[in-house]
A and B are shown apart, each in its own frame.
Chain A
Amino acid sequence: MTANEQPVIRARSLTKKFGEFEAVRGIDVDVRPGESFGFLGPNGAGKSSTMRMIAGVSPITSGTLEIFGLDPATHGSEIRNRLGVVPQADNLDGELTLLDNLIVYGRYFDIPRAECVSRAKELLDFVQLSDRSSGRVDSLSGGMKRRLTIARGLMNRPEMFLLDEPTTGLDPQARHILWDRLYRLKQQGVTLVLTTHYMDEAEQLCDRLVVMDAGRIVAEGSPRDLITRYSTREVLELRFGAGRNAEYEGRLAGIGDRLEVLADRVLVYADDGEAALREVNVRGLTPESSLVRRSSLEDVFLRLTGRSLEE
């Protein structure tokens, strides 16, 4: 194996316990350099606990973990020196200016001051915040703070960039700006590792991902792979009105490959959604609304766990 092929993350039976509670229950993960890798899962799945172990800020309980081939228990500082981190909750210094936030953070890595200043300016440009560089962080919107945190995480020119729910809580426009920036990093060859509970985010940014649920990995593959493996090409969504969807389960039986009845809608999994809709009409059923869409990771998750991601 050449140095280039050495995985940047290698985890075997990785476990994290908090007291008796097992937040991460023996997961295996390999991430290659330059890859963008995602942990997709609902709240409480153990994504942040995993990310914190990878970031070298949380001791593992059992199993093995190697980052850049190093053991975080003994080489934590060295590993963190080569990582960029965007934690789930922003911890910027609200009273300092944007520029000072970046410089101070760069100084933690012992980057010379002049170099910090020039990198900080460059990165503020990259995240499109140059015009606010001497303003206080307190005055920024949530999306801007997130972008600043991303800039901060890049101050040490990391080989791998860890992002814990980079866009949670942001409005769609702010999310798209962020995705665009992350996409650029990916193109520059930075290894991206992110967690999300948005399937569109995972589809946009991840070459490969694992689906996590209750501390375990329940599936792994590229977004396309997972969709082909666990879902159909298309999905027909039918709404029969609040509380009435379950009644229709029997009458829909046999249409498409599979049915999933949710509180607010029925999902019909079929490779040809329009054909399935025609069959529904032929049976004389009249949903209040219907929609044919492509399958998403949401469907994969639903299939694997029986639950919706964003509940």
Chain B
Amino acid sequence: MSTPASVRVLEMQMLLLKRIWKTNLTLSFLQPLLFFLGMGLGVGSLVDGRSSSAAALGDVSYAMFLGPGLLATTAMLTAAGESLWPVLGGFKWDGSFEAMAATRLTASQVVRGQFLWLAVRMGIAVGGVAVVLAVHPDTRSWGILPAVPAALLCGLVFTAWITAWAASREYDTSFSNVQRLVITPLFLFGGAFYPVDSLPELLRPIAWVTPLWHGVELCRGFTLHSLGAIEMLGHVGVLVAWLIPGWILCDRFFARRLYR
């Protein structure tokens, strides 16, 4: 019986994960938990109860506003962490992609395997956040269940583009700038911590085209039941529209680099 190629690539990553799962899983829980507690409770105590804030947040507590957004940001941060150095390393340092390329696997199967691995990796981290949200009475909601795959879709967009970037680089010199100049600003301005509407008018359209904002809105919409079907479809559509070209680029760059 045959197993999909991407699953067979995933098996290798899972064996590696088995060696480091303790620290890795604890950390991926810890970071969003700290954000949730630190921001949710700290900022929440400043914000909650003021009528102007309540209007801006859409009549929910700050914790309720923030929590779902963290699903999407966690997916993005995990994607960035696992798709820069590890991807370049697979070509350059440990040669794991090169080893795969010598087998019957094709470049696009290697890409799919890498995406599947990232989905699992992000799933672990996002799942951690989801558990925190489910435990907190303010954010507890069945909507968390569909919000998790929504966050993963958002994370896959970042996986695709960041992987494409890393796969087309000869050196890692640009990687810390990707973190500093792309990921961190998105994290801060992508609508997870406050409504994009409270940004200066000039900056708002930037938030609207970035995939993170759509991911955040989608997660929040599911969790707080605050979005209509059309809006949701719109956000999914934008995310898919981002994902496809990133994926195509990955296929190209992997093929070009593995078979040259």
**A interface list, Cβ under 8 A from B:** 55, 57-59, 76-78, 80-81, 83, 85, 87, 89-96, 100, 104-105, 107-110, 112, 156
Contacts and interface: CB of A to CB of B under 8 A. Distances in A.
A95 B19 contact: yes
Given A87-B98, A91-B98, A95-B19, A80 B103 contact: yes
Contacts, number: 71
A57 B259 contact: yes
B142 to A, nearest CB: 37
Nearest to B96: A93
Contacts of A87: 98, 102
A87 B105 CA distance: 17
Contacts of B9: 108
| B: contact size bracket | 20 to 34
B37 to A, nearest CB: 34
Interface in B96-132: 96, 98-106
B15 A96 contact: yes
Nearest to A104: B12
Contacts of B99: 91-93, 105
Nearest to B19: A95
26 contacts: A55-B102, A57-B102, A57-B258, A57-B259, A58-B260, A76-B106, A76-B259, A77-B104, A78-B104, A80-B103, A80-B104, A91-B96, A93-B16, A93-B99, A94-B94, A95-B19, A96-B15, A96-B16, A96-B19, A105-B103, A108-B8, A110-B2, A110-B5, A110-B8, A112-B1, A156-B104
B36 to A, nearest CB: 32
Contacts of A92: 99
B11 interface: yes
A255 to B, nearest CB: 51
B11 A107 contact: yes
B51 interface: no
Nearest to A97: B15
A289 B170 CA distance: 51
A104 B95 contact: no
B105 A108 contact: yes
Among B2, B12, B99, B258, which residue has the most Cβ atoms of chain A within 10 A? B99
B23 interface: no
A107 B105 CA distance: 10
Contacts of B173: none
B100 A100 contact: no
Given A91-B99, A109-B103, 4 more contacts: A105-B99, A105-B103, A107-B12, A108-B8
Contacts of B5: 108, 110
A112 B259 CA distance: 27
Contacts of B102: 55, 57, 80, 83, 85, 87
Contacts of B258: 57
Contacts of B103: 80-81, 105, 108-109, 156
A59 B94 contact: no
A47 B259 CA distance: 17
Contacts of A109: 103-104
A90 B16 CA distance: 18
A80 B104 CA distance: 5
Contact of A104 (B3, B11, B98, B104): B11
Interface string B204-231: 0000000000000000000000000000
A104 B99 CA distance: 11
A110 B96 contact: no
A75 B138 CA distance: 57
Among B5, B12, B258, which residue has the most Cβ atoms of chain A within 10 A? B12
Report, nearest first, the 5 A-B pairs whose CB atoms are least far apart.
A91-B95, A81-B104, A108-B103, A104-B12, A107-B8
Given A96-B16, A104-B11, A107-B8, A89 B95 contact: yes
Contacts of B104: 77-78, 80-81, 108-110, 156
A112 B1 CA distance: 7
A56 to B, nearest CB: 8
A47 to B, nearest CB: 17
Contacts of B12: 93, 96, 104, 107
Contacts of B15: 96, 100, 104
A137 to B, nearest CB: 11
Contacts of A105: 99, 103
Nearest to B99: A91
Contacts of B95: 89-91
A156 B8 CA distance: 15
A92 to B, nearest CB: 8
A59 B259 contact: yes
B3 A110 contact: yes
A92 B16 CA distance: 13
B133 to A, nearest CB: 33
Interface in B69-117: 94-96, 98-106
Contacts of A112: 1
Nearest to B97: A91
A78 B105 CA distance: 9
Contacts of A59: 259-260
Nearest to B12: A104
A93 B100 contact: no
